[in-house]
Amino acid sequence: MKYHISTFGCQMNVHDSEWLARALDSRGWTAVPEDEAQVFIVNTCSVREKPEQKVYSELGRIAGRLRDIPEGFAAVGGCVAQQVGRGFFERFPFVRLVFGSDGIANAPNALERLAEGSDEKVALLDFVSLYEEREQAEGETVRIAETRQAFVNIMQGCDNFCSYCIVPYTRGRQKSRHPEAVIEECRMLVRSGVRELTLLGQNVNSFGLDKGGVGVSFADLLRSVAAIPGLDRLRFTTSHPKDIAPEVIAAFGELENLCPSLHLPLQSGSDAVLKRMKRRYTRERYLSIVEGLKQARPDIALTTDLIVGFPGETEEDFQETLRVMKQVEYESSFSFKYSDRPGVAALNMEPKVSPEEASDRLTRLQNLQNAITGNSLKKQVGNRTQVLIEGVSRRQDGGGTWWKGRDPAGRIVNLALPHEKGMTGLMVPARITEAKKHSLMGERTGEPW
């Protein structure tokens, strides 16, 4: 079958779609552009927006395409599928499968059955209490991305119930994978040529602290993965500040291939707002973690998530957030206007901040972030680093070919190299020569390896 997956949302969703694609490829299916597909899979997200509309219009377009493909059908996965569920079957008769994030492990088999002519409608919406292992590619080596980067799920779901967040409702309770399964997958990827791994989970710091736990903490897991011979770079995301263990902070000073970067969502710098968000840390505690991290690894680049306009947020609360941003000097941040999500506790919190005020705060916050990012990038000029090349850069001028990669902290570095091809996935020793608004320019100082 020829299939097309469209993905909305976060890194976890992108990773889920990649896994699904691999599982379908191994069944002899072929990924194609949308206008050639027989089977359409829409992987949805509802963390921040009201995405139902987007999903419905996507399905409307697919309906048009399916008119001329009698054997064709569609599947909807992810957060919106979890919420709307079988409702999709009534509204869109050509939707034959809905699956939530716990149901995805069984989606490839269900898709195969449907493609073989079964006329069932399949709903994989049950939450499970233990992580269901997903099938892995067989054999000694697997096909890896040209960039030689890979993501590995270590857990699924979340138990935190931050008052604004829909994730615990759509992705279910926290379920850790067995550490051996994680380590085995990492080993196999590195054996196959991967040099940068990112461990993924909604709250990786509480790895093992659920029914699936076997007494191996996140710090233990990190050490085991870091020790895999041939692994050049290790990252992980996302970390809830309340759960970050001293051993994980210390690891930044101890593990050579653990990259000096950490995404540590602050959400707000005001204790009053943090409390209503049910984040379970104070500004002071957060700042002491940051201090610990900077002590362990002075060149660590911190990034964060911020919400403005949370119900009841005053101008003074907002100023507190700006103050923390200045103090921490985030390398970059994702910032969002608070948006009501169905069923979450903040839905009933008052007073709501007006959309105009929230937009104004967001603009001010983003202006501050741009200034901080600019300063931090300028400080890199003159530094020596290693750039893992991710591909050819969009901008091309002057002699040579411009290539784009990342330094260990995750900053984008553009390099002019004499090679027109074959640099993706190589590490290039470089010196930073110039800072742009959101990226760096460098020159090669040694042999790529």
Tell me which residues touch ligand SF4 (CB under 6 A). Answer: 158, 160-162, 165, 167-168, 202-203, 240
Q: Select from ligand 5AD, ligand SF4, none the partner in contact with residue 203, using the beta carbon and a kind-dependent cut-off of 5 to 8 Å.
A: ligand SF4
Residue spans of alpha helices (H) in 147-243: 167-170, 179-191, 218-226
Does the footprint of ligand 5AD cover residue 112 (CB under 6 A)? no
Minimum CB–partner distance for residue 151 and ligand SF4 (Å):
17
Does the footprint of ligand 5AD cover residue 99 (CB under 6 A)? no
Minimum CB–partner distance for residue 239 and ligand SF4 (Å):
9
Query: How far is residue 176's CA from residue 112's CA, in Å, rounded to a whole number?
Result: 28
Residue spans of alpha helices (H) in 73-232: 79-84, 87-91, 107-115, 167-170, 179-191, 218-226
Candidates 127, 336, 352, 376: give the one binding ligand 5AD (CB under 6 A): 336
Minimum CB–partner distance for residue 358 and ligand SF4 (Å):
18
In a 10 Å sphere around its CB, with 0-12 CB exposed, 13-18 middle and 19+ buried, how is residue 159 labelled?
middle
Up-side HSE of residue 304: CA atoms within 13 Å toward CB? 26
Minimum CB–partner distance for residue 291 and ligand SF4 (Å):
22
Six token digits for residue 50: 């009201």
Does the footprint of ligand 5AD cover residue 307 (CB under 6 A)? yes
Residue 43: name the closest of 111, 93, 116 by CA: 111
Minimum CB–partner distance for residue 174 and ligand 5AD (Å):
16
Does the footprint of ligand 5AD cover residue 56 (CB under 6 A)? no
Q: Which run of H or E residues covers position 151?
A: strand 149-153
Up-side HSE of residue 241: CA atoms within 13 Å toward CB? 29
Only one of the segments 93-101, 282-290, 312-320, 334-342 lies at the binding site for ligand 5AD (rule: CB under 6 A); that segment is 334-342
Does the footprint of ligand 5AD cover residue 338 (CB under 6 A)? yes
User: Order of strands, edge to edge, in the sheet holding 39-44?
Assistant: 30-31, 2-7, 39-44, 73-78, 95-99, 122-124
Q: Tell me how crowded residue 369 is: count the other CB atoms within 10 A of its CB.
A: 20
Minimum CB–partner distance for residue 160 and ligand 5AD (Å):
11
Q: Which is nearer to ligand SF4, 333 or 385 (CB)?
A: 333
Candidates 74, 79, 165, 186: give the one binding ligand 5AD (CB under 6 A): 165
Does the footprint of ligand 5AD cover residue 330 (CB under 6 A)? no
Minimum CB–partner distance for residue 440 and ligand SF4 (Å):
30
Q: Select from ligand 5AD, ligand SF4, none the partner in contact with residue 48, using the beta carbon and a kind-dependent cut-off of 5 to 8 Å.
A: ligand 5AD
Using CA atoms, how far residue 199 sits from 11, 107, 414, in Å, is 11, 23, 26
Q: Is 153 within 8 Å of 102 (Cβ atoms)?
A: no
Does the footprint of ligand 5AD cover residue 164 (CB under 6 A)? yes
Q: Select from ligand 5AD, ligand SF4, none the partner in contact with residue 161, using the beta carbon and a kind-dependent cut-off of 5 to 8 Å.
A: ligand SF4
What is the amino acid identity at position 272? Answer: A
In a 10 Å sphere around its CB, with 0-12 CB exposed, 13-18 middle and 19+ buried, how is residue 233 labelled?
buried
Q: Which is nearer to ligand 5AD, 149 or 268 (CB)?
A: 268
Six token digits for residue 19: 């896994």
Does the footprint of ligand 5AD cover residue 47 (CB under 6 A)? yes
Q: Select from ligand 5AD, ligand SF4, none the partner in contact with residue 235, using the beta carbon and a kind-dependent cut-off of 5 to 8 Å.
A: none
Q: Which is nearer to ligand SF4, 38 or 202 (CB)?
A: 202
Q: Would strands 149-153 and 122-124 be described as parallel, antiparallel, or unpaired?
A: unpaired
Which single residue brings its beta carbon nearest to ligand 5AD? Answer: 305
**28 Cβ partners below 8 Å, 6+ apart?**
none
Residue 129: name the closest of 171, 175, 83 by CA: 175
Candidates 9, 40, 42, 48: give the one binding ligand 5AD (CB under 6 A): 48
- Cis upstream peptide for 311 (omega within 30°): no
Q: Which is nearer to ligand 5AD, 56 or 336 (CB)?
A: 336
Q: Which is nearer to ligand SF4, 260 or 269 (CB)?
A: 269
Does the footprint of ligand 5AD cover residue 198 (CB under 6 A)? no
Minimum CB–partner distance for residue 169 and ligand SF4 (Å):
9
Provide the binding-site residues for ligand 5AD, judged by CB under 6 A: 47-48, 164-165, 265, 267, 305, 307, 336, 338-339, 341
